Structures are given as structure tokens and as C-alpha cells.
Chains A and B, each alone.
Chain A
Amino acid sequence: MTICRAIPLLLLVLMIFTDAQSATAGTSLKKISLMPLWSPQAQFAGYYVALDKGIYALHGIDLKILKAGAGHSPAQTLKDGGADFVLLWLSTALQQRSAGVKLVNVAQMVQKSSMMLISKKSSGIKTVTDMNGKKVGLWGGDLSIPPQILFARHAVKVREIQQSGTVNLFLRGGIDVTSAMWYNEYHTLLNSGVDLEELNVLSLNEQGMIFPEDGIYTLEKTLKQDPNLARSFVAASLEGWRYAFTNPDEALDIVIKYMREAEQPANRIHQKWMLGRMQHLMSSGNVQGATGVLKEQDYQAVGNSLRKAGLIREYPEYSTFIGRSNAGEK
């Protein structure tokens, strides 16, 4: 079904943009792939919109967005050459770099940490310090890095419980504190019948954790081979995001279409919330027109934090990390 539905769509897109292709990218489009952090949702609206509206094709790119989600590691896939571009959190990317994967940041989309630590008011937990000895739900893998650094900073020892993709463990009282993304679980909690007044919400960002999240990464060698490709890809992605923010309803239609194709339950109002938060997160702290740029001070701060926490031994120069170390070669 999915394929059957996708083919005519792709054909349609191709037909519409045939003229544009020949004008801009010559005879053939460059086939590349992107692996997002998770299965289709509004967190990645820009890419799906750019794909669906033929923006990538206009930039000479034939993009394939790879299946992602549980069991799919973008970092591993990038390392293995399974994807040309992946989305990673800065903290994950630095870890990977430290572990020897020569990846570079070509664009930084989410400018700050959108992670939150949420507890019920009835539990009396108001600060990070209050979490000492409490059962705290953390996601497995790299996503637990920012909260762990926060706990280390406050010298707080929590009882870590690995939490799943649902908020039920927290709702039923299995854990005292849950990790939540502002654009996702936070809203899921509210729409499970919990009022904001019943919750204590600690935003990592407000706790001074400027941990930029979603960024576009590629391997250094990929960038070297075709720097224009990365540039086009980033430009097309940003254009996709701009289109999504100016046409949220259409963007939601597109996202939900891809969610259905991926057999994901699609709750429109939730995706709407997510898209709205993404707009905030991407524009946060930006100089006008500088969307998609990793700020050096943020980079240094995160690198420092990770090194202090002993998660990495060293991190490269900013210019190296963003693939400009050999700018002269261009």
C-alpha cells in the first residue's frame, strides 16, 4: 500500500519539477539520503515538506528520507555509510567525533535544549536538588546525556529508570520524574488529562543547559567530495522549514501523510503543537537570517560540559567541526 501510494506521488513531483530540474541541475538529480532522529513527525516537518514540495529537486537533489526510530541509530548509519546526511544532537555528534567518527555539522536547526524534567506537584520535587534519590525516568542512549550532566552539576544522585516512548510509567507513578521533550511528551502529558498546574516542569534550557539538539551532520569526506551538495541540501532543508512555518496547515498535511505511510498514529493537534515548538526552537537566540547556524559559544559550552563530565576526551576546533577548517581548498 505504502509503495503503491508513494510511486504516483513521486511521479507527480517529478513531472511537476522536470522543467526546474533541467534548468538548475542539468540532466540528473543527485541521489542522497537523510536519516532523521525518529519516525516521521513534525519535528522533521521541514525535510518532509521540502521533499514533498519538490524543493530538494529544485536544488538538484533526489532525497530519500530513511526509516528511523527505535532500532535505527542515525550516528551508526552515518558511520556505516548507510546515509549521506543524518540528524544528531550536538552532544551525540561530539561523542561520535570523540569516538573517531569524522562527522561535521553542516547545519544546526534546534538552537537549545528542549528537554524537560517533569514531576507531579504532589511529589514535592521543585528543583534539581529535590530529585536526589528519586526515581527519574531517562531515555536510553545519548538522550540521557544532558540530564546526567545537569545532575552531575548539582551533585545529585538519582535512581535512573530507563523510560520508554510512553508517558504511562510516570502517569501511573512508576517514576517520580520523567524526561520529556517540550515539543512531544510534555504535550502528550497535557493531553492525557494532566493539567499544567498539577506539574512541576524543569526546563533544561532554563537550568543553563544550552544543549543545541537537532543538527544536520555528514561525514567529512562527503562534504569534501561535494561541498555544494551539502550547501544545497542545507539550503533546501531551510527553505522547507520556512515553507512549513508559513504554511503550517499544509505542512501538517504533508507530515501526517508521511506518518500514515510509516504506519504511525497521527494526532494532528499534537503535530501542530510540535511544529509550533520547532519554530520557536529553531529561531531561538538567532540573529535574523542566521537560522541553521551552530553558534561557536554554544559549541564550546557543550564541548566543555561533555569533557568535564568525562563523556569525551577532546573536541575539535569549531571550524573543523562545522567543516570549514580547509576553507582554503574550496
Chain B
Amino acid sequence: MPGRNSIVIKLILVITLSSSLIFAVTLGYNYYRSRIILEKELEGNARNLAMSLVNRVETVLTSVTKVTEGVARSLETGRYNEAELLSLIKTTLENNPDIYGSCIAFEPFAFKASSRLYAPYYYREKGKIAFSRLEDSYKFVPYLYWDWYQIPRELNRLEWSEPYFDEGAGNIPMSTCSVPFYAQSGGTKLLKGIVTADISLESLTELVSSVKILKTGYAALLSRNGMVLAHPLKEAVMNETFFSIAEARNDPSLRELGKKMVRGETGFILYKSLVGVRSWMYYAPIRSTGWTLAVVFPESELLANVTRLSITMMLMGLTGILLLTLAVISIARSITKPLRSLAAATHVMASGNFDLELPPVKSNDEVGVLARDFQMMKESLKEYIKNLTETTAAKERIQSELNVATDIQASLLPRLFPAFPDRPEFDIFASMDPAKEVGGDFYDFFFIDQNNLCFLIADVAGKGVPAALYMMVAKTLLKSEGQRLGEPGQILSCVNNILAADNDSCMFATVFCAILDTRNGEVRFANAGHNPPLIMDSGGVRYMTLKSGFVLGPMPDTDYATEHLSMLPGDTLFLYTDGVNEATNFADELFGEPQLLAALQNGPKEELKEIVHNIRTEVTRHANGAPQSDDVTMVAIKYRGKAA
């Protein structure tokens, strides 16, 4: 099994991972860009929302301011008795539903000389208009020392008070618009008192608190001192300032933000809101009172749509990638299925079973081509193996026949030594090692009559079966003609003529043929192109000098001269074929005639068997493992003299 390296797994890994990566990058970029676009849009939206809220608050504040100023101016221009004064306040309250309460508070003795303090106050209580006198209502601190009186008095200008709980009079959290009014007395302005109009903080903050921003976003209102007036953090309202919260949270940046706000700046920032959520805030001042209005958009909710879209896209993408993966698996499987069955089949085939049917492949793609080629290869291999089997069988048959031929050939040559145990006049020994199963060399010896021993050595050109067949013919002819004629020259001439007669294949053979007269050691011999034998006598070892003669076979009517040699008792003739002197080693160096001569000189000289074996050993040693290229044949004959 290919396991983790299988094509299917590789394909799935590469395609799924790449498409996931591409998808993730795209999704991330999309989220990032959407976020930026959204934030840009948000600033505009937040500004619009804040400004509209500011305007709504300002509208209320401005109208109250105008009314209060109007009352103050009318007090400066007209003369009012107590009833008219009360009516003025009451009418003002009645005509302006935004005003919670209104008062005209006089400086000491400014209203009448008989009473020190005078501050009539109309306010709303349970839907009705109620009346009280502030000089009486404030039990502990006279109205002269309340912020709403004291600050405009000291500053000589209209002031909106910090929101406060009007304990004793209005008894609600409120902010008061106070306008000083004056009497002209001899060219100098003399402060007569303060006209006030209260607005209920609750009704004002409701404007702000009722604004719904996303799910948990909110609008908040801060006073000029940073006091929290409207905020979802209820316990902070009228209790904490932005700065005390900053101190409690040990957050200097929050304090800096608060300072910007109370300074009347406008801004749009991302911060951690007082309720602890990362939020965008747009803040803007409410000019009349110096308060700050802020709208807060929780970042997570703002991005909720983008996040939701991204999650949807992610789910879609994941589904897509999953489907893609399934598709890849399916395609990869369809591609590799024939491959795998092919692989399974070839696995069986690899063990030599060519009869297995290859799985059918219908597709026309590369796999189809491969499968068809494989089919063809299988057929070819099968055919080849069939042929090979037959050839091998044929070769084995021939081999066995050749083996029989080798045996036959070997049996044709005299191999039994000593060959003539009843003839002490001479010794003869011979050996033939064919290079192939059958050789072209041969030797022979036989008595022509009681005293003449014919011995010969021959080498048929070529090797193997043709040479063996020719050798058979030549040997048979030489023996029969040798026994009939008894003269080496004539024997060779006669055999030559017979061989040349039907020699279409132009075969030929070299032959050395000799006849020994065992009575006197006289040797008659003739040579047909054969290597000159060596003679070993009392004078040492030497090559015989003789006429070379023409080889047997190619040309009829060739004459071969018979020569003579006298062997003394103890002399030895050594005959050999070119398989000896032309034996080569791997360096293609010939054994050579000088080395043969030396080997005979240095080797044993008495026992013919030892002489022949010694030369065979020397030749083998020279070849040094190189294959034998030609038949190696040797014949040695020793004349011992006439028997006593």
C-alpha cells in the first residue's frame, strides 16, 4: 500500500490546503476592509446621532434660557406688585411645559424694605402647579448661598447650574437656569435678584437615555464638572464623575478623555467604555450648559453584521472546501482506481504470472493509454517468454545430443593406455581436450602390419559440429587409406583427393602423419600444413625441420613428400595442435613455441603421460582462467628399441 504517499492523499492535501489558504486570506481581507468601511460610515452616523441629540437638548435649554431672560428683562423694565409678580412666574410656568419650576429670588431687602428675603417659587408637583417660598423652604442654607443664586450673582451673568438635588423646594434632581436682574439707580446697575427656571434632569436625561443604539450601545450625558447625568451605569448617575471613575480604575487616559469632554471638545474615539466594553464614542458639547453628550457604539455589535457575514462566508467556504475535498477524493480515486488495479495486477505479473487478465480500462486518458500499453507489453512478454521457453527446450535437446556426440567423438579416439602393452618397442600417449562439446582435432595410431605403426595428429579448420563431422570423415579416410597404402605421402595425397572432391564448404584440415618401423626406429612422415612436432633425443629438445605441405581438403592433386627420421631408443616425438602453442591468456598473449620448447626441456622426459600432462598444466597455467579457444591435442611417442 502506498499509504501517506498515495496520490489521493497528496492531491487532497495540496488542493484542500491551498484552497483553504486562499479562502482564509480572502476572508480576512474582506473582514478587514469591511471593518474599515464600517468605521468610516460609523463616524458619520455617530456624529449625526450625537448632533441630533445635542440639538434636541439644546432646543429645550435654549427655549428655557430665552424665557428666563425674558422674565428678567421684563422685571427690569416694568414695575410689578406682589400679585403681578406671582402671576408672572405662574404664567411663565404654565406656558412652558419644559420648565419644572421658576422662582424670582430677591437680594436682601430688595423686594421690600420690611422683609429681608423674598423668593416666591412655582413648581410642578403631581401634575399641578404648586407654590412655595424659598426663604422658608430651605431650612438650613438660605437661598442666597445656593449655587443657582450665588454663581450668577457673583458672575453677573446667566448661568446654568450643575445638576443638583433641590432638597426642600423642588425635591428632584434638576438644573437651574439663573438670570440676574437689575434696577437702574442713578446710572449704576444694582442687582435686585435672580430669576430662575428649573428643568427636571430626569425629563432631560430621558431624551438621552431613551436613545437605543444597537443592542447595548447608549447615549450618555456628562455635566460641566464631568458628573455622570445619564448613563446605563445607574449607580454612577449623579454620584460619580468621569474623573472619579478614572481614579477608581486608575486609568489616566480616561481622565484625559474626560478633560477633553469638559473642555467642550468634539471627538470620535475607540475606547473601553465605562461598562467595560470596547466601543466607539462620539462626543460633542452642549454649549448652553457646558455639558457633554456622547454616543457609544459597542465595537462587537457594530461589527456584528460583518462578523456574521464572515461566519456565514466561513461556513460556506468550509462546506465548499469539504465538497471540493470530496470531489478531489472522487476524481483522484477514479484516476487511481485503474492504476491501483493495474498495480495489483502487475504485482501478480511481477511474480511471473502472465496469464492474469488485466482489468479493463474504458477511459481514453493517460491511464487508459497506460493500461492498453501495459496489456500489449503483457502480450509481448508472454509471447517472448513462450519463445524463450521453446528455444531453451530446443537448446537443451541439442545440448543433450551434443553431449552424446562428445561421447561418440571421444570414443572414436583411442583412449586406452598403454595402447599396446604387448609391444615394448615403443610407448605412445595422447590426449584431446575439445574447446566445445565436439572438436575438430583428432589423433590416431594403428598398426599397418606387424611392424609398422601409423600415428597421426590432425586439426580441422573451425570448431564445433561442422569440424567434428569433417574430422569424422578425415579420420575414417586416413585410417582406411593408411592401412591400404602404408606410405605417409601417398596416404595424404589420396585422402586429399577424396576430401577435395566434394568439398563445397571449403573445409580443410592440417595433418601430420607418420609411420614408425618398430624394428629399427625409422620413421616415415609427411606433413599437410601441420605444426612441426618436437623431437626429444640425446641432443635435447628441438623442433623438427620438415616440409610444411599444403592443407588437406581445398585443392585436389596436391603432392605430399614423405620424409625420414631415425629414432634411437629413448628418443621421443612430441606432436601437438595449435590449441597448445596458440593458447592465450586474458592479455591475448600466446603460449608460443619457445615456451613450449622450454616447457618440454624443463619438464619430465621419461614418462609420456607425465610429459603430456605437464604441457597441459603449463598451457592451463598460461591461460590463467581465460576460456579455451581451441581444442588442445597432444600425442607423444617414445621409441624404446627392438625388444631383446
- Chain B hits for A191, CB < 8 A: 226, 241, 243-244, 247
- Compute how far the CA of A219 lies from the CA of B238 in the bound complex, rounded to whole angstroms: 40
Q: Which residues of B in the span 157-173 have a Cβ within 8 Å of any Cβ on A?
A: 159, 161-162, 164
Contact indicator A164/B244 (Cβ below 8 Å): no
- Chain A hits for B161, CB < 8 A: 168
Contact indicator A174/B162 (Cβ below 8 Å): no
If A70-B141, A172-B155, A270-B244 are given as contacts, then 4 extra A-B residue pairs at C-beta distance below 8 Å, sorted by A number, are A174-B153, A191-B244, A192-B243, A193-B241
Q: Mark A61-88, 1 if CB is under 8 A from B, else 0.
A: 0000000011100000000000000000
The verdict on A71 contacting B140 (CB below 8 Å), with A169-B154, A265-B238 known, is yes
The listed residue (B141, B224, B242, B259) touching A164 by CB distance below 8 A is: B141
Q: Who on chain A is nearest to B225 by CB? A: A192
Q: Who on chain B is nearest to A265 by CB? A: B239
- Compute how far the CA of A266 lies from the CA of B248 in the bound complex, rounded to whole angstroms: 13
- Compute how far the CA of A268 lies from the CA of B226 in the bound complex, rounded to whole angstroms: 16
Contact indicator B147/A267 (Cβ below 8 Å): no
Question: 4 tightest A-B contacts by CB?
Answer: A71-B140, A174-B154, A70-B140, A192-B225
Q: Say yes or no for B476: interface residue by CB 8 A criterion.
A: no
- Chain A hits for B248, CB < 8 A: 268-269
Contact indicator B155/A174 (Cβ below 8 Å): yes
Q: Say yes or no for A175: interface residue by CB 8 A criterion.
A: yes
B residues touching A (Cβ–Cβ < 8 Å)?
A: 139-141, 144-147, 150-151, 153-155, 159, 161-162, 164, 224-227, 238-245, 247-248, 258-259, 262
- Chain A hits for B244, CB < 8 A: 191, 267, 269-270
Closest Cβ–Cβ distance, residue B359 to chain A (whole Å): 83
- Chain B hits for A291, CB < 8 A: none
- Chain A hits for B239, CB < 8 A: 265-267
Contact indicator A193/B243 (Cβ below 8 Å): yes
The listed residue (A162, A168, A268) touching B162 by CB distance below 8 A is: A168
Closest Cβ–Cβ distance, residue B259 to chain A (whole Å): 5
- Chain B hits for A165, CB < 8 A: 141
Q: Say yes or no for A190: interface residue by CB 8 A criterion.
A: yes
Closest Cβ–Cβ distance, residue B252 to chain A (whole Å): 11
Between-chain CB contacts (< 8 Å), 27 pairs: A161-B154, A163-B145, A163-B150, A164-B145, A164-B146, A164-B150, A166-B162, A168-B161, A169-B147, A171-B224, A172-B151, A174-B151, A174-B153, A174-B155, A175-B154, A190-B243, A191-B244, A192-B225, A192-B241, A193-B241, A193-B242, A193-B262, A265-B238, A266-B239, A267-B239, A267-B244, A269-B245
Q: Say yes or no for A112: interface residue by CB 8 A criterion.
A: no
- Chain B hits for A195, CB < 8 A: 259
- Chain A hits for B145, CB < 8 A: 140, 162-164
The verdict on A192 contacting B226 (CB below 8 Å), with A168-B161, A168-B162, A267-B244 known, is yes
Q: Who on chain B is nearest to A174 by CB? A: B154
- Compute how far the CA of A172 lies from the CA of B159 in the bound complex, rounded to whole angstroms: 9
- Chain B hits for A270, CB < 8 A: 244
Q: Say yes or no for A135: interface residue by CB 8 A criterion.
A: yes
- Chain B hits for A69, CB < 8 A: 140
A residues touching B (Cβ–Cβ < 8 Å)?
A: 69-71, 135, 140, 161-166, 168-169, 171-175, 190-193, 195, 265-270
Closest Cβ–Cβ distance, residue B601 to chain A (whole Å): 130
Contact indicator B247/A269 (Cβ below 8 Å): yes
- Compute how far the CA of A174 lies from the CA of B147 in the bound complex, rounded to whole angstroms: 10
Contact indicator A169/B151 (Cβ below 8 Å): yes
- Compute how far the CA of A133 lies from the CA of B462 in the bound complex, rounded to whole angstroms: 152
Closest Cβ–Cβ distance, residue B379 to chain A (whole Å): 96
- Chain B hits for A192, CB < 8 A: 225-227, 241, 243
Q: Who on chain A is nearest to B247 by CB? A: A269
- Compute how far the CA of A163 lies from the CA of B144 in the bound complex, rounded to whole angstroms: 10
- Chain B hits for A71, CB < 8 A: 139-140
Q: Who on chain A is nearest to B152 by CB? A: A174
Q: Who on chain A is nearest to B154 by CB? A: A174
- Chain B hits for A168, CB < 8 A: 147, 151, 161-162, 225
Q: Who on chain B is nearest to A272 by CB? A: B248
Closest Cβ–Cβ distance, residue B173 to chain A (whole Å): 10
- Chain B hits for A70, CB < 8 A: 140-141
The verdict on A193 contacting B259 (CB below 8 Å), with A164-B145, A166-B162 known, is yes
- Chain B hits for A266, CB < 8 A: 239
Closest Cβ–Cβ distance, residue B172 to chain A (whole Å): 14
Q: Who on chain A is nearest to B290 by CB? A: A172
Closest Cβ–Cβ distance, residue B138 to chain A (whole Å): 9
- Compute how far the CA of A315 lies from the CA of B258 in the bound complex, rounded to whole angstroms: 50
- Compute how far the CA of A265 lies from the CA of B159 in the bound complex, rounded to whole angstroms: 24
Contact indicator A135/B154 (Cβ below 8 Å): yes
- Compute how far the CA of A323 lies from the CA of B159 in the bound complex, rounded to whole angstroms: 52
- Chain B hits for A174, CB < 8 A: 150-151, 153-155
Contact indicator B238/A166 (Cβ below 8 Å): no
- Chain A hits for B150, CB < 8 A: 161, 163-164, 169, 174
- Compute how far the CA of A16 lies from the CA of B144 in the bound complex, rounded to whole angstroms: 49
- Compute how far the CA of A266 lies from the CA of B244 in the bound complex, rounded to whole angstroms: 12
Q: Who on chain B is nearest to A166 by CB? A: B147
- Compute how far the CA of A71 lies from the CA of B241 in the bound complex, rounded to whole angstroms: 27
- Chain A hits for B226, CB < 8 A: 191-193
Closest Cβ–Cβ distance, residue A313 to chain B (whole Å): 30
- Compute how far the CA of A174 lies from the CA of B225 in the bound complex, rounded to whole angstroms: 15
Contact indicator B258/A193 (Cβ below 8 Å): yes
- Compute how far the CA of A172 lies from the CA of B148 in the bound complex, rounded to whole angstroms: 12
Contact indicator A173/B155 (Cβ below 8 Å): yes
Q: Who on chain B is nearest to A167 by CB? A: B225
Closest Cβ–Cβ distance, residue B441 to chain A (whole Å): 127
Q: Who on chain A is nearest to B240 by CB? A: A267
Q: Who on chain A is nearest to B144 by CB? A: A162
- In this complex, the member of B139, B153, B225 whose beta carbon has the largest number of chain A beta carbons within 10 angstroms is B225
- Compute how far the CA of A135 lies from the CA of B151 in the bound complex, rounded to whole angstroms: 13
- Compute how far the CA of A71 lies from the CA of B164 in the bound complex, rounded to whole angstroms: 19
Closest Cβ–Cβ distance, residue A221 to chain B (whole Å): 29
Q: Who on chain A is nearest to B155 by CB? A: A174
Q: Who on chain B is nearest to A163 by CB? A: B145
- Compute how far the CA of A267 lies from the CA of B235 in the bound complex, rounded to whole angstroms: 9
- Compute how far the CA of A252 lies from the CA of B410 in the bound complex, rounded to whole angstroms: 132
Closest Cβ–Cβ distance, residue B473 to chain A (whole Å): 135
- Compute how far the CA of A75 lies from the CA of B226 in the bound complex, rounded to whole angstroms: 36
Closest Cβ–Cβ distance, residue B194 to chain A (whole Å): 13
- Compute how far the CA of A163 lies from the CA of B150 in the bound complex, rounded to whole angstroms: 9
Q: Who on chain B is nearest to A273 by CB? A: B247
- Compute how far the CA of A208 lies from the CA of B489 in the bound complex, rounded to whole angstroms: 168
- Compute how far the CA of A191 lies from the CA of B153 in the bound complex, rounded to whole angstroms: 25
- Chain A hits for B155, CB < 8 A: 172-174
Q: Who on chain A is nearest to B222 by CB? A: A193
Closest Cβ–Cβ distance, residue B405 to chain A (whole Å): 123
- Chain A hits for B247, CB < 8 A: 190-191, 269
- Chain B hits for A171, CB < 8 A: 224-225
- Chain B hits for A135, CB < 8 A: 154
Q: Who on chain A is nearest to B149 by CB? A: A164
- Compute how far the CA of A169 lies from the CA of B154 in the bound complex, rounded to whole angstroms: 8
- Compute how far the CA of A172 lies from the CA of B152 in the bound complex, rounded to whole angstroms: 9
- Chain A hits for B225, CB < 8 A: 168, 171, 192-193
